Every structure is written in structure tokens, then in C-alpha cells.
Amino acid sequence: MSLYAQRGVSAQKEEVHAAIQHLDQGLYPNAFCKLYADFLGGDQNYINIMHADGAGTKSILAYIYWKETGDASVWKGIAQDAIAMNLDDLLCVGIYDQILFSSTIDRNKLLINGEVISEVINGTQSFFETLKEFGVQISFLGGETADVGDVVRTIAVNGTMTARWPKSKLITNDLIAPGQVIVGFSSYGQAKYETAYNSGLGSNGLTSARHDVLSKEYATKYPETFEPSLANEVVYIGKNKVTDTIDIPGFGNIQVGKLLLSPTRTYAPLVKAILSKHFDAVKGMIHCSGGGQTKCMKYLPGPMRIVKDHFLEVPPIFKLIQENSGANAREMYQVFNMGHRLEIFTNEMDAAALIEIAASLGIEAQIIGRVEASDTKELVLKGSFGTETFSY
């Protein structure tokens, strides 16, 4: 059993998918998000969407860093995480503007004070103002902040996004087909709309990242940060403190805590630019979130083989996690994005234009794979780690 599973987490969410398998799949079953008829406007040419996601257990990392350093500003990053995990899912169906957002914050008031709540709420508005500068309009409708210490150990930061969008501007993944290439867009570095180096970790796999990298001392100091029934051998098994530093080429020494807490990069400015200029070139989009590099297999319109054999360089944060945990490549690529969190399926002749737009925003991109004909759904990952094959 993987360390991820031993900690009570599933990268593939098998039980969740089993529970929802008989639910209505919406108008476009292969789309990255569930899309419905336009109940709000009554126009058959439009769809409605309501989508929920959040920062997950990354808020526990923020809690430890805040307690260790007194730096409350990291909570602004948690606000961005909750937004980006919603927004970048919507991007993958083509929605990048005129969005409504409502937040849900559950906290243990005995441990999480008003300063933290203020940083999260104001961080939410600040991030929307940054996105507005790049033409992405999101209205903050408030939400619910609840004191539920009997339910939540520290704090959970989540949100819901709602939009109405024309069917003619949707990306449904129905056009993914053999012969196409896959462009991967880096999750790390510093995009022109970011103020600091981004480790690329995002908001998935943070249970493993936290326990694999941080040292056992945090289990004693902050027992509220983990499930008490977990076996001692999977709790905070790493060698690092949050204040340890790692040299990141071109950016200098950065604290381990800050690398783990890098706010999830949104691709909204990039996707808006791509879809505004090259909509017809985009055949499908995948947000490599839960499930990492295997995520794409859930959204293929039929039997085909996905081959990814030209990955971007693996950024330091994932190397640190693997060194601490000893996890094999198969588990790492199933849990983490490993360097790119957005994939666009396109024709080879159109790939260069998408890569050029990414470069203009300071985002590294390249063709990382291709789609091949097959009688079954199959995923092949190749790299310095060897070859890993997944059948579906």
C-alpha cells in the first residue's frame, strides 16, 4: 500500500467515483467539468455551471508555517489556492471570464484567530484584482465563515464558482483524437503575473508533501495537524523544517515552507489569450490536479493511447518530496503534476502558437506527448525513470 493510501488519502478517488457513477453526467460527459442547460437564462445556446473546490490540506501547512514564524501573509496564498483550483477547472471547459465566486471557510476558533480570517478574505479580493488586470473578471459574492471546532481541527478554505457561457465557446474534449499532440504548460517558475518564484506544487498531494518532507518534531508540537489514528511511521517522516532553505537556480535560497506553500498558479491569463486567438486549435484541455499525470484518462472521448515522453524538467520541490519519501516514479506521477499542471490537446501545426503565447507570459511550455490510435484506453509515461503504463 502506498504512503498516500496509508494516510487515508486516494489520488484516484475511487470511492467517490463509485458513489457518483449513476448521477447525471451533464450535457457533455467528456468535459472536464459538469455542464448543464441554461436554467438561469433559458437560452438553449448557453450552459450553466456551478463548481466547488478548495485548498485542501495545504491550509495545515500554512498553519504550521504561521505558528513557527508568525508570518500571517501565507494565508493569502491559501485564498489563491482555493480560487485557482476552482478557476483552472473552469478554464478547461473554456470559461475564463464573468464568473461568480462564493467562499466557505470552516475554522476552529480556538486555534485560528481573526487575523487569519482577514488575510484569507482580503487575499481573495486582492487576487481577483490581479486577475482583472489581465481581463479575467470574477465577482466576489462573500460566502460563509463558520466556527466548527468540533468538525475541523484547524481551518478549511473552499469555494464555489458559477458561470453562464455560450455553447459555441466550450471545450468539451470530444474533439481529442489520434494524431494530435499534447502541449504541457509549466507549473513552476515565475509567470509575469506572479510576484515570486512558484515551486509548481499546486494544491494536490499536500498530505504526502507535508508528511514526507517535514520532520517528526511537528507531530509533537502540532498534534492538531494530523489524524491521530495514523501509524507513527507515516506521520512527518521527513528531514526538513519549514525554515530550512533550498537553493533554487536563478532565485536564490528559498525556505522549504515557502516552496510547499507556493500559491497555486492559475493559467487564466494564458487560457484567455489562447482561446481568444486560437479557439479552434484547442481540441481538449486537462487540469492535472488530483491524479497528477494520469488525470487525462478520465476525459478521453473513446479508446486511444496517450503517450507522454517529453516532460518538462522536474522542479526541485518534487525531487525533495521523492528524496524524503522514497516513493517510486509511478506513485509520484499519479499524485503530483511533476512540472506541468495544464495540458492542451492540439494539432502539431498549431502547437507553436500556443507555446509562443505562454512564453510571452513567462510560462515555459513544450510538446510533452501525443495521442495514438488504440483499441483500449491506455496511458504510457516515459522518462529517465523508465516506462510506466496504465490501462483503463
| pLDDT single digits (tens) 305-330 | 999 999 999 999 999 999 999 999 99
Q: Are 291 and 12 in contact (CB under 8 A)?
A: yes
Q: Read off the pLDDT of each residue in 165-176 and give the average, rounded to a whole number.
A: 98
CATH number of the domain where residue 266 is located: 3.30.1330.10
According to the model, what pLDDT value does residue 83 have? Answer: 98
Is 254 part of a structural domain of the chain? no
The three cell numbers locating residue 177: 483524437
The three cell numbers locating residue 294: 494520469
| pLDDT single digits (tens) 153-163 | 999 999 999 99
Cα of 332 vs its chain's centroid, Å: 15
Is 386 part of a structural domain of the chain? yes
Taking CA atoms, 36 is separated from 27, 42, 103, in Å, by: 6, 11, 22
Q: Are 226 and 211 in contact (CB under 8 A)?
A: yes
Is 122 part of a structural domain of the chain? yes
Is 237 part of a structural domain of the chain? no
Q: How many independent structural domains does the chain possess?
A: 1
User: Which range of residues forms the domain containing residue 274?
Assistant: 3-196+262-391
> Nearest to residue 237, comparing CAs of 217, 212, 256, 220?
212
| pLDDT single digits (tens) 90-130 | 999 999 999 999 999 999 999 999 999 999 999 999 999 99
Q: Read off the pLDDT of each residue in 214-243 and give the average, rounded to a whole number.
A: 96
The three cell numbers locating residue 224: 492538531
Distance CA 102, CA 105 (A): 10
Q: Whole-prediction pTM value?
A: 0.94
From first CA to last CA, the distance across the chain in angstroms is 20
> Nearest to residue 7, comparing CAs of 285, 228, 201?
228
Q: Are 199 and 188 in contact (CB under 8 A)?
A: yes
| Dihedral in degrees, nearest 10, Cα atoms 377, 380, 381, 386 | 150
Is 204 part of a structural domain of the chain? no
DSSP SS3 for 216: coil
- The length of the chain in residues reads 392
Is 256 part of a structural domain of the chain? no
Is 9 part of a structural domain of the chain? yes
Distance CA 378, CA 298 (A): 11
Is 251 part of a structural domain of the chain? no
Q: Read off the pLDDT of each residue in 179-188 and give the average, rounded to a whole number.
A: 98
Residues 6+ apart with CB under 8 A from 9: 207, 208
pLDDT over 80 (residue 303): yes
Q: Provide the percentage of residues in the chain whose pLDDT is more than 90.
A: 93
According to the model, what pLDDT value does residue 6 have? Answer: 72
